[in-house]
Chain A
């Protein structure tokens, strides 16, 4: 016991041992030492270290101690790898051919007999023809007077030719309104994030064409639709639930032999739920979606993440409408598996280091108070 006490005595700071060492050892020689005394010497040495050391030294020692402790804990914790990829959702301007197709499609709706008939009646168009021929023929005639022609790239001119200048202008304005309504109706039928086309109509302008026939025209631009809210957020929200299906996760768990220990103890549904917690699909920006998966095995983490991204793409392709040209304004660019990091262990060591430094600093600041309080 005497030797053990002598060993523990080394915990005292050298300066203290220099001053009190001889008399302290003399006391140890005189006493019949017990385990309680050895512990008492240990605690005395520890307190002496704390109360007599400098702030920086205590802080650093406590920080290193915390980091070492965190390292030991981290070593016992299974490693965790996070594999992440980013899907960039891009939009481009529609091609002239695509824009022409979109304009023609909308014109069929906007200039249908149901839409033109009220115009003919309200503005009293073609009175002479109407008196002799059925309304269907008048409508056909009016459609011949409506022209949609490309002006440049994705800009189109909508014009209506009629002998009365004022009526030509008023009807052109109405035709433009009908196109706007058809466009809005189409956008409301489909989801915003899937519809790249939107009309931007310019005000109608009067153009003198022939001596006895006046033509009024308006311009429209076909542009990518304004997306609100962000496409990434919507894709993540809508496709996430479809892409990360129970069936898909079950297949991944079985094919990649994931969560082996959990599967041995718990039903598959619980394991699937656990996997959902390890999957994150979240917007990185208005047009970027990050997909990540956390798992103890680096290779499996990366493989599952890539599978998830592919599943998201498949979900998108399945979900979009049949007519491709509506969706041609979107494209996906994938940045796969850029980050594969061992998160958990680093975090634990970091917490240990931070906690140790904080504790050390607190003790250093309070040590004078401790010293006087105990006197």
Chain B
């Protein structure tokens, strides 16, 4: 699983994070290191879709958090993934 947008949504699921924190978090839970261009490309798209929102701060590191719509989308994506994973697992067991 290396879809940057899903990884960012998953990273923000437990609270707000800035860019560097997301990179570290994603590397920890998914084993994927997102490059700066990939990370901010995905952040730009997700903000444009209204699924994440920046938090106003004086720090250069601007944190982001999930919007309710982004949370709904993440849940839908995870449910879909869960269905795929379950189906694949069942098939492997019966193979």
* Chain A residues engaging chain B, CB cutoff 8 angstroms: 5, 16, 20, 22-28, 30-31, 33, 36-37, 39-45, 47-48, 371, 374-375
0/1 string, B39-77, CB within 8 A of A gives 1: 111111110110000000000111000000000000000
Evaluate contact between A374 and B5: CB separation under 8 angstroms.
Answer: yes
Q: Are B19 and A26 in contact (CB under 8 A)?
A: yes
Distance in angstroms from A369 CB to nearest chain B CB is 13
Check if B19 sits within 8 Å of A24, measured CB to CB: yes
Interface membership of B31, Cβ < 8 A: no
Say whether, besides A16-B44, A31-B20, A31-B23, A36 and B35 are in contact (CB < 8 Å): yes
Report yes or no: B49 in contact with A375, Cβ–Cβ below 8 A: yes
Q: How many residues of B contact A (CB 8 A)?
A: 22
Which 3 pairs from chain A and chain B are nearest by CB? A44-B37, A40-B35, A26-B60
Sampled A-B contacts (10; CB under 8 Å)? A20-B40, A26-B18, A36-B35, A37-B37, A39-B35, A43-B37, A44-B40, A48-B44, A371-B48, A375-B46
Are the CB atoms of A20 and B44 closer together than 8 Å?
A: yes
Contacting residue for A23 out of B41, B45, B60, CB 8 A: B60
The residues of A that contact B39 with a CB separation of less than 8 Å are: 27
Which among A16, A24, A47, A375 is the interface contact of B36 at CB below 8 angstroms?
A24
- What is the interface of chain A mostly: helix, strand, loop, or mixed? helix
B-chain residues with CB within 8 Å of residue A48 when the two chains form the complex: 41, 44
Task: Give complex CA distance A39, B42 in Å.
Answer: 16
Residues of B within 8 A of A16 (CB): 44
- Choose among B19, B35, B42, B44 the residue that contacts A41 (Cβ–Cβ < 8 A): B35
Taken together as a complex, chains A and B put the C-alpha atoms of A172 and B44 apart, in Å, by 102
Q: Are A37 and B36 touching (Cβ within 8 A)?
A: yes
Give the complex CA separation of A371 and B41 in angstroms. Answer: 10
Indicate whether B2 reaches chain A with its CB closer than 8 angstroms.
no
* A24 contact set on B, CB distance < 8 A: 19, 36, 40
**Distance (whole angstroms) from the CB of B6 to the closest CB of chain A:** 10
Cβ contact within 8 Å between A374 and B45 = yes
Residues of A with C-beta under 8 A to B37: 37, 40-45
Contact in complex: B60, A22 (CB < 8 Å): yes
Q: Is B86 close to A, CB under 8 A?
A: no
Residues in A neighbouring B49, C-beta threshold 8 A: 375
Which B residues are CB-close (under 8 A) to A20? Answer: 40, 43-44
Contact A27 B23 (CB under 8 A): yes
A40 x B36 contact (CB < 8 A)? yes
Instruction: Give me 6 other A-B pairs in contact (C-beta within 8 A), A26-B18, A26-B20, A41-B36 excluded.
Output: A24-B36, A24-B40, A42-B37, A44-B35, A375-B5, A375-B49
Q: Are B41 and A30 in contact (CB under 8 A)?
A: no
Smallest beta-carbon distance A156→chain B, Å: 93
Q: Say how far A49's CB is from chain B's closest CB, in angstroms.
A: 12
Once the chains are docked, how many angstroms separate the CA of A30 from the CA of B24? 11
Least Cβ–Cβ distance between B17 and chain A, in angstroms: 12
Q: Give CA–CA (A314, B53) in the complex, Å.
A: 86
Min C-beta distance of B16 to chain A, whole Å: 13
Chain A: minimal CB distance from B92 (Å): 30
Q: Name the A residues within 8 Å of B19 (CB-CB).
A: 23-24, 26-27, 30
- Shortest Cβ distance from A363 into chain B, in angstroms? 16
Select B38's contact among A5, A44, A371, beta carbons within 8 Å.
Answer: A44
Q: Residue of B at shortest CB range from A41? A: B37
B41 in contact with A27 (CB, 8 Å)? no
| Residues in chain A near residue B23, CB distance under 8 A | 27, 31
- The complex places the Cα of A374 from the Cα of B49 at a distance, in Å, of 12
By a CB distance below 8 angstroms, the chain A residues around B48 are 371, 375
Cα(A31)–Cα(B24), bound, Å: 10
Closest to B46 in A: A375
Nearest A residue to B73, CB-CB: A375
Structural contact, A44 and B41, CB atoms closer than 8 A:
yes
A139 → chain B closest CB, angstroms: 107
| Given A16-B44, A375-B46, A375-B49: A27 and B5 interface contact (C-beta under 8 Å) | no
